[in-house]
Structure 1
Amino acid sequence: MSTVSISKAAQKTSLALPILVGGGVAGLLDMTSAYISFGRYMPIGIAGGLVGAAGRHLSVDQYILGLCIHYFIAFSAATVYCLASKKLGFLRDHFFVCGLFYGIGFFLFMQLVVLPLSAYHAMGPYQYHALVQGLLAHMFLIGLPISVSLRMLSR
C-alpha cells in the first residue's frame, strides 16, 4: 500500500477565487438592489461620497467612479471575511449564520464609519423602513454570498 504525499503548497487553500466570486456576486446583488431602491444614478451618488458636491453632476466619469468604488468596497468586504476565516474556522463551518451576522456588521460599519467620513457626512436621523431594508439587504445580498462562496470554493 502506498500513500501519496501532498505538497504544502497544494494543501493550503487559495482564497483568490472565493474573494473574486464572493465580492463580485455581492457587488452585483447590492448594486441591483440599489438600482431598484434609489434609481439608475446611484453610482453617481456613491462617487459623490468621495468627490463631494462635484459628484452631483451627471457624467460618465462620475458614474464609472461610483461603480469602481462600489466594487472596491464589495471586494474589500469579501477579502476581510476570507482572511478572517484563516484564523477563525467557524466562519467557514457555520457559513450561514456567520454570513448573516457579517452582513449586519458590514451594514453598521458603512452607516457608522464610512458614511460619516464621506464627503456627504451622512448621519441620521434614520428611518425605520430604511434601517430594516438596509439590514436585510446587507445580510442576504452581501454577507451571505461572501460566506457561501468561501464555503463552496475554498474546500
Structure 2
Amino acid sequence: MIEQAGPRPTATRNALLAIGVGGFIAGTISLLPVCIQFGWQVILSIAGGLIGDKAGQGGPAIYLLGIFLHFFICFSVATIYYAASRRLLFINQYPLLSGLYFGVTVRLVMNYIVLPLSALHATDPIPIKEFWWGLFEKVILVGLPIAYSVWWFGRSTPTGASGKSRATGESTDAFEKAPA
C-alpha cells in the first residue's frame, strides 16, 4: 500500500537549507543591533536605496519593503557564498577564515558599489567609527553565520567517499553536468 519514496535530491535540499538558514540568521542578527543602535528608521533608509527620498515618508508598506530588501540582500549574499563554496573547496575547509574574508568583501561591495548605485547615491566619505562598526557587523553578523551555515548544512551527508549516494549509486553533486 505504501510506496517506497525514490531517491531524494539531497544536494538541492542541502543547498536550500544552507542558503535559507544562513540568509535568515545573517539578516536577523545584522538588522536588530543596527535598529537598536540607530532606531527603527534605519529600515526606511534600506527602502530608500530603492525608492529614494520618498522612503522618509514612512508607512507600513515602506517598512515592509525595507525589511524585504534587507533579507533579499542577505539571501543573495548567502547564495553567492554557497555557489562559491561548490567551486572553491577551501571555503568549506576553513569556514572561519572564509567567513571573515567574505564579511569584509560584503562590506566593501556594499559601500563602494551598491550604495553609490542606489537611489540614495551614497557617495559621501564614511566616518572612521562607522566604517569600523560596519566592518565588524558584516564580518561577525553576516560573513560568519553564512559561512558556518554553508559549512554545516551544505554537506551532502548520504554520500560515500566517491561522491555517489550509498543507497542508489547516483551522483549527489548538484552542479555535475548530465551525460551528453
Normalising by structure 2, we get a TM-score of 0.78
From the CA coordinates, give the structure whose radius of gyration is larger.
2
Which residue identity does 1:50 align to in structure 2?
A: L
Offset of residue 12 of structure 1: 7.4
CA RMSD in angstroms comes to 1.7
Partner Cα separation in structure 2 for residue 57 and residue 151 of structure 1: 41
Give the corresponding residue for 1:145. 145
Q: Give the C-alpha shift of residue 40 in structure 1.
A: 1.1
| Structure (1 or 2) with the greater helix fraction | 1
Deviation for aligned residue 1:38: 1.6
Listed as ranges, the gaps of 5+ residues in structure 2 are: 1-6, 156-180
Number of the residue aligned with 1:107: 107
Alignment size in residue pairs: 149
Q: Which residue of structure 2 lines up, in the alignment, with residue 3 of structure 1?
A: none
Which whole-Å deviations, capped at 9, do the CAs of 1:36-69 have from their partners, x for residues lacking one?
Answer: 2221121111101110121110200100000000
Structure 1 CA distance for aligned equivalents of residues 63 and 100 of structure 2: 30
CA contact (8 A) 1:22 1:146 kept: yes
Residue 123 of structure 2 corresponds to 123
| 1:1-155 mapped onto 2 (5 Å cutoff) | 9-10=9-10, 14-155=14-155
Extract unaligned runs of 5+ from structure 1. Answer: 1-6
The verdict on how the C-alpha distance between 1:127 and 1:11 changes in structure 2, with shifts beyond 3 A counting, is closer
Q: Is the 8 A contact 1:33 1:137 kept in 2?
A: no
Q: Hey, what's the Cα distance between the residues in 1 that align with 2:52 and 2:12? A: 43
Asked if structure 2 preserves the Cα contact closer than 8 Å seen for 1:49 and 1:115, the reply is: yes
Corresponding letter in the other structure for 1:63: Y
Instruction: Tell me the percent identity.
Output: 36
Deviation for aligned residue 1:121 = 0.5
The 4+ residue runs of structure 1 with deviation greater than 6 A are: none
